[in-house]
Structure 1
Amino acid sequence: MTSPTARLSGVLAADAGLLRERAADCDERVAALPPKPERTPEEQAAADAAQRPVRALRAEFLRHHGRAVHDEVTAGRTLRPRLAELATAAAERFPGLVPNRSRLAAEEALPQAHKEGLAIDHGMFFRQLLADPVTGGHLLDSMRAPTARAQELLPEFARTGELDLGTVRVARDGATAHVTLANTDCLNAETNELATDLETAVDVVLLDDTVEAGVLRGAQMSHPRYAGKRVFSAGINLKHLHAGRISYLGFLLGRELGLLSKVRRGLWCGDGSPDAWPHLDLAKPWVAAVDTFAIGGGMQILLAVDHVVAEEDAYFSLPAAQEGIVPGMGNLRLTALFGGRLTRQVILGGRRIDARDPAAALVSDEVVAAERVGAAAAVAAERLASPAVAVNRRMIDLAEEPPDRFRAYAAEFALAQALRLHSADVLSKVSRFSLAGRAG
């Protein structure tokens, strides 16, 4: 049997034409089958058999032409689109390489178990771009540029010192900005909206010249079980995941390359302006104040900040084995803190770390009574608000997580997470969580 990649010529135009033909043929064969939830096992096997060789061809095409594709859709790396914009441009310029806008819109409306798995094609695309130091470096810098929404809201924040973004609130107190996660009905479980609002808030804090440090804390909850009590985060909203409302590009990959990279490394400001030199990263120290618990993505946030204050009865966990997906950069960053053995206990075995556990000293810097969490976080932010802190936190980050190491990990994560998102065991797990009513 001839390999589906054997006919690649190495010439971009010719290979793009071949990919377009093979992808169109695959789409026709899959479209002729019943919708995914109505397929028999044999029909699903036929869909998989149609998709597999085309995905192999896409992978080979990207290995040959990934940098040329990226240069084409970014005008020689002069444009800086975010993930979704970049993928849309690639779909228009190279049909069949990644899903086009209409196919994505149709898929986004479906429950997770009914999706065809278009995120896998995005995962392949971004894996290749991130693996290349040239395209990967450009992509990572682009994702750390301030969002248009934040730039639009900055004058209002500068004038009033307050913003209500929906699921996140921001308030300036002197030189400290307090960012409050306020997805109160579901224990600050992470959704597309929360990820977007939180990135906007982080951008505004970093852009405001009068702010020197930021504090992240959960609001008081309206959820019946924790009504009136502050909660940091319950992790990813599994109901939304089951319903197909967790975006791969906007949340699962975009959160890591955008929001959390900005918290850790700051905004990228190397736009060619002479005013930007020599400081191409606009970064500020961050303090996290943890009430009750920081689960999943909540704990991942703690791995990106500079100082953590925890309530004495709080706990931390990364239940990756329970949820079935990859916990963002948790494997990378927790290993740097814990070493391999304890990281395996937390991520593979589901070990919960209580704030009073000696191991918690590797996650939190202070453990205080519940009524002292806010004050302790404010004092820590004031202490970190120093130019010397800013430059040294950057040097620490370079030593702890060099950019090329992060980029290489992100490349593998991009595909691994896309595959997990559509795996049978994850679909089964999130379905059970939805039936049980678990928020995140």
Structure 2
Amino acid sequence: MTATTPKPGLTGDFHTDSTALTRFLGDLAGRSTGEPAHGPLRTAARLARRRFLERHADRLYEELTDGRRAFHRLDDLAGAAADAVPGLVPTKAELEVERCRSQREKLGLEIDHGIFFHALLGSELSGRHLLDAMRRPTERALAALSGFRATGRADFGVVTVERRGDVGEVTVANTAFLNAEDDLLVAALEAAVDLVLLDDSVRVGVMRGGPMTHPRYARRRVFGAGINLTRLYEGRISLIDFFLTRELGYIHKILRGLSVPDDGRDWWPEPVEKPWVAAVDSFAIGGGAQILLVFDRVICAEGAYLTLPALREGIIPGVANLRLPRTGGNRLSRQMIFADRRIEADSPEGRLLCDEVVPEERMETAVAEAAATLAAPAVLGNRRVLHAHEEPEDELRRYMAAYAIEQSRRLHSPDLVENLERTWISRNR
């Protein structure tokens, strides 16, 4: 910030400060046209947003959610905030323009989302309500539920769900990208997970990668290849729709199930929860390895391996930084996160992350046996108490508050852009 840059006069009154912030940001916006993502005027604007939210995050959240009676998802909440306090976060129209830019050309507008969600998630009052809102079923899943109950199958394009007896099997089939995740795949996975949780005849969920069409892996199953670097290079990976929704949506639902309203009809409302099995064929890279940490049973085929190349890519590997030390220990966690150490499933380190390693031809049987074990009625109560001790929801909330800021800054860091450029060039030679 330069010496001549003014500061908004914040008084502590919500409405007065909202007006002052909007006026201040409008003035800076007119002066910062053409300024890069980390220019001094944009920095001044971000500091003003931070100071406003430090004072008024809970009051703003009350305004946006009708006194916490409404349960808005992240994207709707951000859109409402853009209307309520103009300039606080980018409008949907501004985001559409930004989304058309490559990652190198972006103005860093999503950093404002990082500031916004850091404040909301950092508040015990607002953050808990927001986590609860993100565990409600998606409209896409509710629209597909009657058909799934009738036929036992739903197709979301890159993800399918099939009911087999009392098992709901989610198959990831983003074959064009070896099951690498992007905004569209995250949305489809959440709808699929919702269906498994909502169907009363399903007792256990299973997630597995489908057979690939890539020449190197033709007809072989792949669990996941991490983030879709092509889409990230193109600027089509969103902080909200990918990084934040992924963690607070389908992954959190696998861990804790769907939240239900406490309407007084039950003396202790229970979440709509199921145990889950992950079946890893070939490999689980990046995000594929991250999500294994929330499954109740992980079955790997012989020869499968796991890696977390996020540091090499320039991003933070989701909630792995919170969960991996608990599972693999501090030293292994640092080797995987900081040094991209490859972990063979059938190794002493791999056995910390996988429950069972079987020959490829035994995968179907091993998964079925694991699902049958987890269908025992007492599993749900045990996993609920286990999760409450291992990872209290407030611990996840505080982690996600820090993650919102750090990941938003990583997305617009020069080294990440350079990494993407090198990867793009090497792939297209």
Provide the residue aligned with 1:330 in structure 2. 320
SS in 1 for 2:53: helix
Structure 2: runs of 5+ lacking an equivalent: none
Distance 1:2 1:405, change over 3 A: farther
User: Which of 188, 208, 217 is the equivalent residue of 1:217?
Assistant: 208
Provide the residue aligned with 1:232 in structure 2. 223
1:270-317 C-alpha deviation (Å, 9 max, x unpaired): 252625x52331110000000000000001110111000001100011
Provide the residue aligned with 1:37 in structure 2. none
Structure 1: runs of 5+ lacking an equivalent: 34-42
Q: 1:12 Cα shift?
A: 1.1
Provide the residue aligned with 1:94 in structure 2. 85
Contact 1:5 1:56 in 2 (8 A): no
Output the CA distance in 1 between the equivalents of 2:318 and 2:360: 29
Note if 1:60 corresponds to 2:51. yes
Provide the residue aligned with 1:108 in structure 2. 99
Q: Which runs of 4+ in 1 moved over 4 A?
A: 1-6
Output the CA distance in 1 between the equivalents of 2:211 and 2:264: 43
1:218-274 C-alpha deviation (Å, 9 max, x unpaired): 000011211111111001000000001111111111100111000101001125262
Task: State TM-score, norm by structure 2.
Answer: 0.97
Note if 1:289 corresponds to 2:279. yes
Output the CA distance in 1 between the equivalents of 2:186 and 2:325: 24
Contact 2:8 2:48 in 1 (8 A): no
SS in 2 for 1:78: coil
Q: 1:4 Cα shift?
A: 5.2
Note if 1:381 corresponds to 2:371. yes
Q: What do you get for the CA RMSD once the two structures are aligned?
A: 1.5
Percent pairwise identity: 48
SS in 2 for 1:80: coil
SS in 2 for 1:267: coil
Q: 1:185 Cα shift?
A: 2.0
User: Which of 143, 162, 171 is the equivalent residue of 1:171?
Assistant: 162
User: Which of 55, 75, 78 is the equivalent residue of 2:66?
Assistant: 75
Counterpart residue type for residue 171 of structure 1:
E
Output the CA distance in 2 between the equivalents of 1:17 and 1:23: 10
Output the CA distance in 2 between the equivalents of 1:310 and 1:353: 12
Provide the residue aligned with 1:340 in structure 2. 330
Contact 1:239 1:437 in 2 (8 A): no
User: Which of 407, 411, 424 is the equivalent residue of 1:417?
Assistant: 407
Output the CA distance in 2 between the equivalents of 1:44 and 1:261: 35
Structure 2 matches for 1:39-438, cutoff 5 A?
44=36, 48-270=39-261, 272=263, 274=265, 277-437=267-427
1:109-138 C-alpha deviation (Å, 9 max, x unpaired): 111111101110000000010011000000
Output the CA distance in 2 between the equivalents of 1:247 and 1:372: 38
Q: 1:100 Cα shift?
A: 1.2
Counterpart residue type for residue 89 of structure 2:
V
Distance 1:44 1:210, change over 3 A: closer
Output the CA distance in 1 between the equivalents of 2:7 and 2:372: 58
Contact 2:158 2:172 in 1 (8 A): yes
Provide the residue aligned with 1:21 in structure 2. 23
Counterpart residue type for residue 304 of structure 1:
V
Output the CA distance in 2 between the equivalents of 1:288 and 1:224: 25
Distance 1:358 1:82, change over 3 A: same
Counterpart residue type for residue 421 of structure 1:
L
Counterpart residue type for residue 425 of structure 2:
L
